Structure 1
Amino acid sequence: METRSNHVLVGSVVLILIAVMALFLVWIARWGAGSDKEYDIFFKQSVDGLAKGSAVLFSGVPSGQIKEIALTPDPQFVRVRISVGRDTPILVGTTATIQGSFTGTSTIQLDGAQKGAPPIVCPEQNPLADCPNGVPTIPAKQGGLGALLNSAPKLLERISTLTERLNEVLSDKNKASITGILANTDRLTGALADRGPEIAATLAETRVAVQQAGEAAKQIGTLASSTNSMINEDIRPQTKHLGETIASAKKSMDTLSEVLEQAKPGVQSFSKQTLPEVGALVHDLREMSQALTGVAERLDRGGAGSVLGQPRLPDYKASK
């Protein structure tokens, strides 16, 4: 009876110790978990390779693990909750990327924190806008290898399309055309090689022609300069004198116009009164001239007596 009582007592003590140890371990676990900080990351890409318990790295240093992976009401995003140590500097500017590997295991890489920036926390006003699930949110961006792996299907599709188009370009018909083009190009280069001396001579003649054109242009420039000098030295002074002469002639014409204007009344009086009298005088002089002419002729024929007396009758002789 006493032996059974001792076994029961020992068993009870052992059970009590085990229960206390379990409670201590649970408390330690809760205390350790309570010292971590939790954040949500919303990835707009596949999270293939991530799993609950996967490592979270900050600048390559292990800093926590993934606590939960879940879908969101928006099918474009996947929510990943992580837990990191309290000493991890999750500051404004920190971003999260999925660091993939060819072995199939992926991790979350945190970087981009800037010294002096405030920590990422839920705002006191309207916290659900930045913290829809009660914890701060770290912005996500596509990583190099992750973005490459995500774009691999599209890349393969484009490579396949490019290969098909290359096959179309390198069809038998196009190959024959390309062969003809290459043959024609070969013949053209051969012809150019044969005509090499003629081409060289043509180039030399062209060079001489260009040189002569340059000399002609130089001579034209010299001629233009000489013409300009002649215009400046000879023609422009003469033009100046001509302008002075024209101005003097104009002044003389203006003076003559004034004189004519002043003489206009006298000219009109002369034309109306004097001209008729002069006409009558000329008529009288003309008649007097004719009379004098007749007298002179009579003097020539009969002398002075013909003028003073009657003219003599001719002698009459009787016929036998």
Structure 2
Amino acid sequence: METRSNHVLVGAVVLILLAVLALFTVWLARLNGGSEKQYDIFFKEAVDGVNKGSPVAFSGVPVGQVKEIALFKPDPQFVRVRITVNSDVPVLEGTTATIQGIGFTGVSQIQLDGAVKGAPPITCPEKDRASVCPLGVPVIPTKQGGLGALLSSAPKLLERLTTLTERLTELLSDKNQASIAGILENTNRLTDALADRGPEIAATLAETRIAIQKAGNAAQQIGELAGTTNRVLDQDVQPAMDNLNQAINSAKHSMDTLDSAIGDARPGLKTFSNQTVPEVNQLVHDLRNMTEALSSVAQKVDRQGAGSIIGAPALPDYDPKKSPKQPKE
């Protein structure tokens, strides 16, 4: 009985020690977990080579590991990768996550980079927390890496290569090959014809060069002629135009003076026309009458002498024959 009691006691002590060790391990894990931060990364591409426990590096420096990989149930096209990193890692706004292969082993890691100096850390805001942090932890945006970009663009590249191959096949069909052969043959004929006409072409080029040179000389002469014409206009025509302008200005001044003189003489001319001209006409009339009277006196003196002016005129002799007849009773 005593031996069995000892065994029970020893077993109880061992169980108690194991329980204490387990509690210590859990406490230590929680203690270590308190110095780490968790982030979610949503990849819209394959995460080949990334497994639970895969390393997480920040600019090539190991800072944590992958804790969980699962499909995002609300949108299965995304793969959710939860990572844990040391609390002192500067996961700031601008930081992005990519999948980077490690050598040629097929193993990949999560690469973080792109943190902006002075930017705030990536956290879950109080506003729109459910949309920004759907699973309660901050989300690091993704960026396609070199291999991921190559793999994502591979289907488009293959499609373009297929299209290019089909077009090359159509281009190199029998009909097009015959056409290309005809074009090459015509090209050869044209080359031979040009080779045969080489001297003529050279002569034509020489004549063209001479014509261009003559045209250049003609253009230079035209330029010189234009310069001479400008000088003639400046030296000869311009002075003549200045003299003509002076003459026009003098004539205008004379016309202005004449207009002023006519304006000043207009009242005297009006008086002369209204008063002096009638008086002159009367004077001329009186002079004409006086001239006629004097002419009559001169003629009388000439015929009858000077006494005709002083004495009475003589009576004519009586002639009975010329006497007037008496009227009958």
Residue-by-residue CA offset, 1:25-66 (whole Å, 9 max, x unaligned): 233233323322101112233334433322222112222222
Structure 2 length-normalised TM: 0.69
Flag the 1:121–1:243 CA change in 2: closer, same or farther, 3 A.
closer
Residue equivalent to 1:94:
95
Flag the 1:42–1:240 CA change in 2: closer, same or farther, 3 A.
same
**SS of 2:80's equivalent?**
strand
Residue equivalent to 2:74:
73
Structure 2: distance between partners of 1:130 and 1:80: 16
- Contact 1:72 1:78 survives alignment (8 Å): no
**Correspondences of 1:98-137 after superposition (within 5 Å):** 98-100=99-101, 103-137=105-139
Residue equivalent to 1:164:
166
**SS of 1:12's equivalent?**
helix
- Contact 2:97 2:143 survives alignment (8 Å): yes
Structure 1: distance between partners of 2:249 and 2:71: 107
Whether 2:176 is the aligned partner of 1:174: answer yes
1:239, distance to aligned residue in structure 2 (A): 4.5
Flag the 1:246–1:135 CA change in 2: closer, same or farther, 3 A.
closer
- Number of equivalences: 270
- Contact 1:41 1:138 survives alignment (8 Å): yes
Candidates 128, 135, 141, aligned match of 2:143: 141
1:110, distance to aligned residue in structure 2 (A): 0.6
Gaps of 5+ in 2: 282-329
Bigger mean CA offset, 161-170 vs 25-34? 25-34
Q: Which amino acid aligns with 1:56?
A: V
1:77, distance to aligned residue in structure 2 (A): 3.1
Structure 2: distance between partners of 1:111 and 1:44: 18
Residue equivalent to 2:219:
217
Q: Which amino acid aligns with 1:90?
A: V
Residue equivalent to 1:38:
38
Flag the 1:239–1:74 CA change in 2: closer, same or farther, 3 A.
same
Flag the 1:136–1:247 CA change in 2: closer, same or farther, 3 A.
closer
Structure 2: distance between partners of 1:94 and 1:164: 44
- Contact 1:66 1:81 survives alignment (8 Å): yes
1:206, distance to aligned residue in structure 2 (A): 1.5
Residue-by-residue CA offset, 1:180-212 (whole Å, 9 max, x unaligned): 222222222232233223222222222221111
- Contact 2:45 2:148 survives alignment (8 Å): no
Residue-by-residue CA offset, 1:110-160 (whole Å, 9 max, x unaligned): 111233332222224453343222111111111121111122122212211
Residue equivalent to 2:24:
24
Structure 2: distance between partners of 1:94 and 1:249: 94
Residue equivalent to 1:60:
60
Q: Which amino acid aligns with 2:181?
A: T
Q: Which amino acid aligns with 1:45?
A: E
Structure 2: distance between partners of 1:233 and 1:117: 78
**Correspondences of 1:161-240 after superposition (within 5 Å):** 161-240=163-242
Structure 2: distance between partners of 1:93 and 1:234: 81
Flag the 1:32–1:255 CA change in 2: closer, same or farther, 3 A.
closer
Structure 1: distance between partners of 2:251 and 2:62: 112
Structure 2: distance between partners of 1:232 and 1:34: 99
C-alpha RMSD over aligned residues: 3.5
- Contact 2:71 2:78 survives alignment (8 Å): no
Structure 2: distance between partners of 1:138 and 1:14: 46
- Percent identity of equivalent pairs: 67
Structure 1: distance between partners of 2:24 and 2:181: 86
1:249, distance to aligned residue in structure 2 (A): 7.5
